[in-house]
Structure 1
Amino acid sequence: MGQFFKFLFASCLGTTLALFLLFFILIIVGTSQVAKETSSPKVSIRDNSVLKLTIPEQLPEQTNNVEMQNFSFKDEKVIGVHDLAKTIIKASDDPNIKGIYLQNTMYDHGYSTLKIIRDALLQFKNKGKFILSYGNYYNHKNYFLASTADNIFIHPLGFVELKGFGATIPFFKELMEKVGIKYNIYYAGEFKSATEPYRLSKMSDQNKLQLREYLESQLDEYIAQVAKSRNLSESELRNNFDQFLSYTPQRAIENKVLDKAASEQDVFIEIRNKLNIKTDENINFVSVSDYYNAKGIDTDYSAKNKVAVVFAEGTITDEKGSEGEIGKKYLKIIRDIRTNDKVKAIVLRVNSPGGSALMSDELLHELDLTRAAGKPIVVSMGDYAASGGYYISCHADSIFASPHTLTGSIGVFMMIPNIKVLTDEKIGIDFDTVGTGPMSNKFDITANWGTQESTILQENTDNTYKRFLEVVSSGRKLSMDATKEIAKGRIWTGPKAIDIGLVNRIGELNDAIECAAKLASLDKYRVAEYPAQDDAFQKLIKKFQDKDEDVQSQITNGILKEEMGQLYPYYLEYKNIQKMKGPQMRLPFKIIY
């Protein structure tokens, strides 16, 4: 036996030393690779340069607030939308940057996000600098930005899909029935549509009503902005979209939606003319990421007082939360801010469809304690501040929303799968039980549920909804009757939310920061962003420290995102629903239109 333990110890020691040596080698190789890949010289921003803007597929609120999708030592930042806009504005004051070449691609970012970039483009243009746009294909998303350009070019064989806003919601009830899975569903709020894809085969009348009203108001906002940029009447543009009059390049040009059909080389000739350079001379294009890395974002470090901007983006989860999720790590962030004497105010930037009711309540509690400690809190809403996203917002001293924000959705639901048909009839697995009392085996997902389970969980759902109403009523200083009337799980746009008392004013993040500073009586201050973001190398090390299944899950998600394209958001929302625990305050699927 002693010999056995001697060999076991030797084996373990050898394995440990080997792992240590491997880690040491990885560090050396990694450091060498980092030195090589990050030592490249900065891009020269010489005179007569043109900023090349291509909207990336990943566009978080905060720079680098996304999960690392590949194993690379390159210090490649994923620029957040606010830093991207600041970069464009900074270039507008740079005498070396003469214009912007907007290279249009396909993306599904929300209109609140895109408006931040659009506003920056207009500010750039107002400085007397040119913007030229080129693309093979235009839809409402990329046209929203392209409409700021002096001239919009399209490939002669391109296609224009400007036909109004429409939303498609997937329904899984029939699929689940074929698989043998049934959901036990409980909800509060007649407009709370989150459970509809699992209990219905089509949208309810209430859901159709609220979505139609939402889309109509969003199209009105869109048309007002685009028509002004294109010098078209709003009625003319609305009719163009409704009748789908501009689907070919030629039709779009005739209707003044676009300006010219041309190849990209023709656009480059136009740029050379604007730069007053020879036709064979190279254009010095500078990408936004290169300009951002070269110039950075101006910060006044002489200011001691700070306004903390907390980027709360993504689903609200009971877990710690990875990048792009709101989880337990935010509780510590808010506590740390509360005890930081240099931080005088907080701006909570919310871009979330909601999630866990329990975590939403914990986050609100920490924010309430921070306000009680004398630090004002202002909320700035992005594309979504709905359900749990609104719950964590509603006690703020002031709330700003974008014209394109989707908010409200004050409602609660619970969904628990039942797999009895799957196990009994589809794959032939039988379950038997034994317990100490009549309730011991209730809530078993392998057995059919009766009235007792339903009564208990519906009561739990109703109690959580009551708490939601109370929180909104006290935070927004509304009567309970008024709160009940605007709740019901119904979604609202930013402007409508002002009318019904859920939001204070329309504005962007900068407006919220200025408001927070004013509430804190600050004349001189600097902005501190939370959560702190790791660089690429730190993220890589943390990835190796994660559990194997976490690493495998991240790699799998990266592959699926690449392969599924526009269908990936639906898959992601479905996976999130499968992970839900307890009462939920969240939207069903993000509305892509």
Structure 2
Amino acid sequence: MNSFFRTFLACLLAFVVANILIGTFFVMVLAGIGAAFSEQAPAVESGSVLRIDLSERITDAPSVNPFSSMGLADLIDMDMSRSYALVDVLEAIERAASDDDIEGIYLNINPYVGVGMATLDEIRDAVVKFKESGKFVLSYADYYTQGSYYLATAADRIYMNPEGSLSWAGMATGVMFYKDLLEKLDIRAEVIRHGKYKAAVEPFLLDKMSPENRLQTERLLGSMWGYVVGNIAEARGLDSAELQRYASELTLSDARSAVETSMVDSLAYEADMQDMLCEMTGWDDEPEFVSLGTYIDQPRVATKKLSKNKIAVVYAEGQIVDGKAKEGLVGGNSLAARLRDVRRDEGVRAVVLRVNSPGGSALASEVIW
């Protein structure tokens, strides 16, 4: 009997201690999360340089869930990784133009930017408008992809590592076809489609692009490429035909050729850029950088509302699905309800619908329409 009670008390004590430890752990987790979200961003010092590397995750629609970009590992190690809405990024760049503490912008661009061309174009346009303030914009990278270089051409001067390279080969796309695979598996796809240009299902029916799909794909890529080349030619003072020739002939083989073609102004190392920025901002050892995320978190100055009339911005970001949907997807019923609420709001005079979606359910699209 004594042995039973000793075992029982030992198990009870272990149970109580385990619960105390688990409770303490969760209290620490919640306290850490609260501290992370309540902690104010450090103040921006005079003579700072806004550093934009696009390492932050940028979404079109503002997130309504502060934990949407955090996983379990982030909670355990208290790494509060976040995503930023494009509208906040653009507002921060615009605000920096009139901020006396910001001397200029340093585009230290990650070559593999995680945003699409449309988002990249809006950020580039904001940087171009920033230059109207008279402040400097410099760009530096170890090497440039076409996307990162397109953003870099908003700068006054472009620098690159002497051992780096610039990718300039035009735009291309490809389609993977499954028709032969399905035949080997004795599977036949039953597809209903309307019109010759509805090409999403062609990989299951054909073994090559249809003339209609090839036509529309070439038109789309040609339009995008022409837009990019035109903007770069204007920014760099180059001829569009020459830029096209560089891509067709793969002229940019190394860093030296990038300078010879005036695609890049000069070659330098990261340490050289640090010295250059110190000289431009008056700092001795190293320039005072402020990251894009930190600058977005700076307190805003309250603005006076000029009118009771509002323009609603409704976001449709993600794949379109039937019914209601969580954040990151466009639910047909969810978005329709949101639009219905906006329509009934007498204070809303107009609506901007921003669509950033690959498509999806035809039925859900009809409900939204």
TM over 0.5: yes
CA distance in 2, matches of 1:329, 1:361: 13
State yes or no: 1:233 paired with 2:239: yes
The aligned counterpart of 1:316 is: 320
Pick closer, same or farther for the CA change 1:180–1:288 going to 2, 3 Å: farther
CA distance in 1, matches of 2:305, 2:25: 36
State yes or no: 1:142 paired with 2:143: no
The aligned counterpart of 1:36 is: 35
Instruction: For 1:3-152, list aligned pairs within 5 A.
Output: 28-56=27-55, 58-64=57-63, 67-71=68-72, 72=74, 76-105=81-110, 106-107=112-113, 109-152=115-158
Residues 189 and 204, structure 2, Cα contact 8 Å, conserved in 1 = yes
CA distance in 2, matches of 1:50, 1:216: 37
The aligned counterpart of 1:251 is: 257
Residues 102 and 132, structure 1, Cα contact 8 Å, conserved in 2 = yes
Residues 229 and 243, structure 2, Cα contact 8 Å, conserved in 1 = yes
Name the SS for the 1:102 alignment partner. Answer: strand
CA distance in 1, matches of 2:216, 2:341: 40
Query: What is the percent sequence identity of the aligned residues?
Result: 32
CA distance in 1, matches of 2:302, 2:58: 21
Runs of 4+ more than 6 Å apart: 20-27
Per mean C-alpha deviation after superposition, the further-off stretch among 334-343 and 260-269 is: 334-343
CA distance in 1, matches of 2:217, 2:300: 41
Residue 44 of structure 1 aligns with an amino acid whose one-letter code is A
CA distance in 1, matches of 2:199, 2:70: 32
Q: CA deviation at 1:293?
A: 0.3
CA distance in 1, matches of 2:218, 2:64: 33
Q: CA deviation at 1:290?
A: 0.3
Q: CA deviation at 1:24?
A: 7.8
Name the SS for the 1:141 alignment partner. Answer: helix
One of 344, 348, 353 as aligned partner of 1:339: 344
Q: Deviations over 1:247-279 (max 9, x none)?
A: 31100100000112221111111111211333x
Q: CA deviation at 1:340?
A: 2.6
CA distance in 1, matches of 2:21, 2:282: 57
State yes or no: 1:195 paired with 2:201: yes
Name the SS for the 1:156 alignment partner. Answer: coil
Q: Deviations over 1:18-68 (max 9, x none)?
A: xx9999878644431223323444222111100010124632112327953
Q: How many residues align?
A: 343
One of 346, 349, 356 as aligned partner of 2:354: 349
Residues 316 and 325, structure 1, Cα contact 8 Å, conserved in 2 = yes
CA distance in 2, matches of 1:203, 1:299: 54
CA distance in 2, matches of 1:162, 1:298: 45
Give ranges in structure 1 of 5+ residues lacking alignment.
1-19, 365-593
The aligned counterpart of 1:326 is: 330
Higher RCO, Cα 8 Å, sep 6+: 1
CA distance in 2, matches of 1:179, 1:266: 60
Name the SS for the 1:316 alignment partner. Answer: strand
Instruction: For 1:563-578, list aligned pairs within 5 A.
Output: none
CA distance in 1, matches of 2:99, 2:43: 13
TM norm structure 1: 0.54
CA distance in 2, matches of 1:231, 1:248: 21
TM norm structure 2: 0.85
Residues 108 and 141, structure 1, Cα contact 8 Å, conserved in 2 = no
Pick closer, same or farther for the CA change 1:94–1:152 going to 2, 3 Å: same
Residues 317 and 325, structure 1, Cα contact 8 Å, conserved in 2 = yes
The aligned counterpart of 1:388 is: none
**Root-mean-square deviation over aligned CA pairs:** 2.6
Q: CA deviation at 1:175?
A: 4.1
Pick closer, same or farther for the CA change 1:162–1:57 going to 2, 3 Å: farther
Per mean C-alpha deviation after superposition, the further-off stretch among 44-53 and 328-337 is: 328-337
